[in-house]
Structure 1
Amino acid sequence: MVQCTLVLAGIGVFMAVGGALLGWVVFPGAVHDKIIENTELRQGTPQFKRFEALPQPLDFKVFIFNVTNPYEVQMGKRPRVVEVGPYIYFQYRQKDNIRFSRDRSKVHFSQQQLYVFDAESSYPLTENDPLMVLNMHMNSILQIAEDETYDSLRLINVELNRIFGRPDSMFLRTTPKEFLFDGVPFCVNVIGIAKAICKEIEKRNTKTIRVLPDGSMKFSFFNHKNMTEDGIYTINTGVKNALETQMIEFWNGKNMLDKWSNSSRGSSMTCNKIEGTDGSGYPPFREGVQRMTIFSSDICRTVDIKYVGSSSYEGIPAARYVTDDNFLNKIGPEHNNDCYCVNRIPKAIVKANGCLYEGALDLSTCFDAPVVLTLPHMMGAAEEYTSLIDGMHPNPEKHQIFVDVEPV
């Protein structure tokens, strides 16, 4: 009986030690290895199939500001706007031209996106709803001409009706379908000086303007993103270091952009550096990571995001990150990033040093057109901008940019 008890006790101790080893050494190591296996990019794996093409479309939601007092604005009144939306689109993503480096540590690819209107989810809104919006392409071209020479502006003013189809104001009657994807036509059947001006517009190769086979043009917000490539990416596969998975090595063969000017300290590296992921995937083991970086080709810059706390998505625990203050608020020589202060928009409201006020980013050098980025409803923007328009209702719960990342 004593011997049996000792044997059972020995077995108990062995099982306890074995359980501790499994619980503290073997199982965590196995889980760690499994996570790496499921995140690194190896051809033929389920993870790589998801990387090639998302198994289901994403929701792409668009809200548009409808101008309710266009004629009053022409008389010098402040614009009043009402938000309309969401207009919801299926967004399909697929990567093409995939090829690996010899050691499989890097993968090169291009990627395309397809947008299809989701009428059911958008109901009762439709793609053919009437809208009154700023005639963006006309006003942009006038601003560019004003910045160049007085003669350029005078010529365009004389030919305005021929180029833009007899506009009756600075605003445009359109529809979501036309404004977002199909395009607003202009430079239709032009001759003489008007045709020469349209040729100059074509030479600028602006993202949001496309030339049709008959020589006419169309402006649209997102057509340039629909079934077109946004460059060649080279990213890390994670096979050598899991913590580098999906980190961008090069975009179009470069690790630096040429869109942003030199800062007061003589360097544009802060603004032009390409780093981080493209936002569609992240390395594993994010728990405890306070900051991450995303590169967006849409706005020609890298964006820092910072950890603000835990969150969840459909019951799955996540870590929440929001854009750092240096995205739109802390920009200028005092923050060593005044290379973002391109000051290219004629008569823009800027500080004495040429930088925009808080909450706005000049994207003129990215779009080759006078474009300013803010958060929805100008959330966080300076009064110098928010006081110019009625109808803004910023709400952090709705309008803050955030990313939820599964931390394991």
Structure 2
Amino acid sequence: MSNRRTGVLALGLTIMVLGSLMLLMNLEITPLPSFFQLILQRELALSSSSRSFNIWRSNPVPIYLDIYLFNWTNPDEILDGDTKPKFVEMGPYRFHENKEVVQIQFHDNGTVSYKQERRWYFDSDYSDGTLDDNVTTLNAVALSAASTVKNWHWFHQTGLSAFLGTSLQKIHETKTVREFLFDGYESPLINFAKKMPLIKIPYDKFGWFYTRNGSDTFDGHFNIDTGQGNIANMGKVYEWQYSNETSYYEDSCKMVNGTSGSLFPPVKSKQEKVTMFSPDLCRSISFDYSSEETIEDITGYRYIGSEYMVDNGTLDPSNLCFCNGECVPSGVLNVTSCRFGAPAFVSYPHFFRADPYYASLVEGMMPKRSNHEFYLTLEPTTGIPLDVAARFQINLLLQPIEYVVLYRDVPRVFFPMIWFSNRATMPRHMAEELQLLLTVPCISLIFSGAVFLLGLTVVVFTLLSGAHAKPHRIQKLNEKHMIALKEKQSSH
């Protein structure tokens, strides 16, 4: 065999080996990461140069917040034991949300610390009502003050009772939507509470979203995994407010677990729960797999907030530590300690998936899965959210307080106050980019197969050409031998 043919054969074998290795890597038969995994690691893991960083830092996905308020139509009948509170839903009042990650600091241990800033802009075109609409509901400030002192000495309770009377406070109040939401409204009770050493109130007004617009402190300080070391840990929260546990719950319920809610790792299995930490609830919440959904021609796994997310130990005994001393039927979460002592309980809108007990106390609740389910849809290969609907309702617990005259004879009712739906769906142009990324494994597999076949072709062609050349050389040698023999005979 000539040196040239030997070199070609060696080249063909090298290409075959390379193609075989690439095929094994793409089929994940070897311990080596596939080319797609390498691309995911580079593009998804957070770093100052990764593609995901800019998307995470300034979210380009349109987000809107729909807010609904419950108008209390019969407040004057609250002391009538035979009449339930009646409600009419108002809204939606739509706000476009811009979210930006700020104060970003990468650390040598593969984590990143940050805060996030949110801004909301009212959209009158898609709102059913204006911010000047009047809404009647519970006097949240008076109720929060009374609930804070209900377990104090009777002397403090009667002191607050006297102030409620002299300041002409009522069980209900009527304000505009803008006052209840972002603008806030003043109350003499807030100034009164600030003078009490055992009460810490950081606000000068009350509003459900007061001081949140443009704030980078409300959601708190996060420290999460960048995914650089292991993409399966991307977004995992290690600390919130500089600690790996909160002071709002006890035992295992105080632990900070799950992802940050804006980043999710690739999904390993449908059966695994998706867990995230919610700064609004000061706790972690988990979602259960529900179904496969198609968003902009991309298949995703939908995870929903089930009955277990709002369970207080009835369905899962491990949730008992979320009771916060007020264990109630399954369906609402006690976030009193997280909300400066206000008797706040969070549920799904209209008490969806809650014990029938709650809806039986009031009139006007109409739970519906399509409108009130909390879910998120993730693309499993990358963990990228395709469609998210975060839906929660805030309820205040109204109950008798013996030494506070205003609340002495009231019924025990979980009052629906406000609910919101925070929606974000991947737009078409981003879905097309994601689809292109998801074709990389197929392209890589085809390319690997082509490389292997190229090498195989070179080897086979070289061997066949060598086999064909050998008889030809023998024939030429025979011809030369016959000519020489003839020449020898003629010379004799």
TM-score scaled by length of structure 1:
0.80
C-alpha RMSD of matched pairs (Å): 2.8
The match for 1:205 is 200
The match for 2:96 is 90
Sort the Cα spacing of 1:360 and 1:238 in 2 relative to 1 into closer, same or farther, 3 A: same
Per mean C-alpha deviation after superposition, the further-off stretch among 307-316 and 251-260 is 307-316
- 8 Å contact 1:156–1:197 — kept in the other structure? no
Letter aligned with residue 154 of structure 1? T
- TM-superposed CA distance for 1:219, in Å, is 0.8
Letter aligned with residue 227 of structure 1? G
The match for 1:238 is 227
Q: What is the rounded CA distance, in whole Å, between the counterparts of 2:149 and 2:135 in structure 1?
A: 27
Letter aligned with residue 199 of structure 2? R
The runs of at least 4 consecutive aligned structure 1 residues that moved more than 4 Å come to 15-28, 194-198
Kindly indicate whether residue 136 of structure 2 is the aligned counterpart of residue 147 of structure 1: no
The match for 1:291 is 273
Letter aligned with residue 302 of structure 1? S
The match for 2:379 is 406
Sort the Cα spacing of 1:334 and 1:308 in 2 relative to 1 into closer, same or farther, 3 A: closer
Letter aligned with residue 182 of structure 2? F
The match for 1:54 is 59
The match for 2:31 is none
Select the structure of larger CA radius of gyration: 2
- 8 Å contact 1:286–1:406 — kept in the other structure? no
Question: Aligned to 1:121, which of 126, 130, 136?
Answer: 126
Per mean C-alpha deviation after superposition, the further-off stretch among 148-157 and 395-404 is 148-157
Q: What is the rounded CA distance, in whole Å, between the counterparts of 2:86 and 2:192 in structure 1?
A: 36
The match for 2:248 is 259
Letter aligned with residue 399 of structure 1? H
Encode CA deviations 1:33-81: one digit per residue, 9 max, x unaligned: 2222221001033311111111254101111111111112243421110
Kindly indicate whether residue 71 of structure 2 is the aligned counterpart of residue 75 of structure 1: no
Encode CA deviations 1:239-271: one digit per residue, 9 max, x unaligned: 11010011111112211112113xxxxxx1x20
Aligned pairs for 1:161-172 (under 5 A) are: 163=167, 166-167=168-169, 169-172=170-173
Count residues in correspondence: 359
- TM-superposed CA distance for 1:359, in Å, is 0.6
- 8 Å contact 2:98–2:118 — kept in the other structure? yes
- TM-superposed CA distance for 1:381, in Å, is 2.1
Sort the Cα spacing of 1:185 and 1:203 in 2 relative to 1 into closer, same or farther, 3 A: farther
Per mean C-alpha deviation after superposition, the further-off stretch among 178-187 and 328-337 is 328-337
The match for 2:425 is none
Kindly indicate whether residue 310 of structure 2 is the aligned counterpart of residue 309 of structure 1: no
Per mean C-alpha deviation after superposition, the further-off stretch among 299-308 and 314-323 is 314-323
Q: What is the rounded CA distance, in whole Å, between the counterparts of 2:267 and 2:287 in structure 1?
A: 16
Q: What is the rounded CA distance, in whole Å, between the counterparts of 1:256 and 1:23 in structure 2?
A: 45
Sort the Cα spacing of 1:146 and 1:322 in 2 relative to 1 into closer, same or farther, 3 A: same
Q: What is the rounded CA distance, in whole Å, between the counterparts of 2:144 and 2:153 in structure 1?
A: 15
Sort the Cα spacing of 1:187 and 1:246 in 2 relative to 1 into closer, same or farther, 3 A: same
Question: Aligned to 1:249, which of 203, 213, 238?
Answer: 238
- TM-superposed CA distance for 1:332, in Å, is 5.3
Name stretches of at least 5 consecutive residues in structure 2 with no aligned partner: 1-14, 29-33, 382-492
Q: What is the rounded CA distance, in whole Å, between the counterparts of 1:30 and 1:195 in structure 2?
A: 62
Letter aligned with residue 204 of structure 1? I
Letter aligned with residue 108 of structure 2? R
Q: What is the rounded CA distance, in whole Å, between the counterparts of 2:213 and 2:198 in structure 1?
A: 22
- 8 Å contact 1:106–1:237 — kept in the other structure? yes
SS at match of 2:78: helix
Aligned pairs for 1:328-407 (under 5 A) are: 328-329=310-311, 331=313, 335-343=317-325, 355-367=327-339, 368-407=341-380
Sort the Cα spacing of 1:244 and 1:210 in 2 relative to 1 into closer, same or farther, 3 A: same
- 8 Å contact 2:322–2:333 — kept in the other structure? yes
Name stretches of at least 5 consecutive residues in structure 1 with no aligned partner: 1-14, 189-193, 212-217, 262-267, 344-353
- Greater RCO, 1 or 2 (C-alpha within 8 Å, sep 6+): 2
TM-score scaled by length of structure 2:
0.67
Q: What is the rounded CA distance, in whole Å, between the counterparts of 1:16 and 1:44 in structure 2?
A: 35
